Structure 1
Amino acid sequence: MTMVCCTAPITRTAPAVPTTVDMVRRAAAHLATKLNDLAHAIAEDRRRRRDAAALAALPFDLRKDLGWPAGDTHR
């Protein structure tokens, strides 16, 4: 008969409690992510407005050929 035993002590570790520094780092990373998202949204909106203005500045015939809806054709 074989008996298996372990002599290493069993230690139970509690989940680590975040320190103040960890919480500040996480908050700073979250803020940086939100600011980055806001900057991307502003840049995308600016690009979209520039593109719309460039298309609106094209002559009517060219916009019609492109299939762009014309707002000045109402009768």
Structure 2
Amino acid sequence: MVSAGRHPKNAINAVIGDLPDNIEVVPIHKGHRWGVLGCATCDATEAIWSTPRSADNHARGLLRFVARHLHDEEG
């Protein structure tokens, strides 16, 4: 059994365990969606799926989202 704050796929769990301050994880256990990554600076979101076809590819997509939303202090 997986604890409440831990994703069942290790690759995805590694990504959500090491996020910058402006990115937050909002747990939404509804359907196939496990949660959402949200950028506090620009209000963009990215779904975190509970059972992706390829956990490694999904983790890379989440990393791309994080890289796109590394905003500097000026906005």
Give the TM-score taking structure 1 as reference length: 0.27
Q: Which has the higher strand share?
A: 2
The structure having more radius of gyration, on CA atoms, is: 1
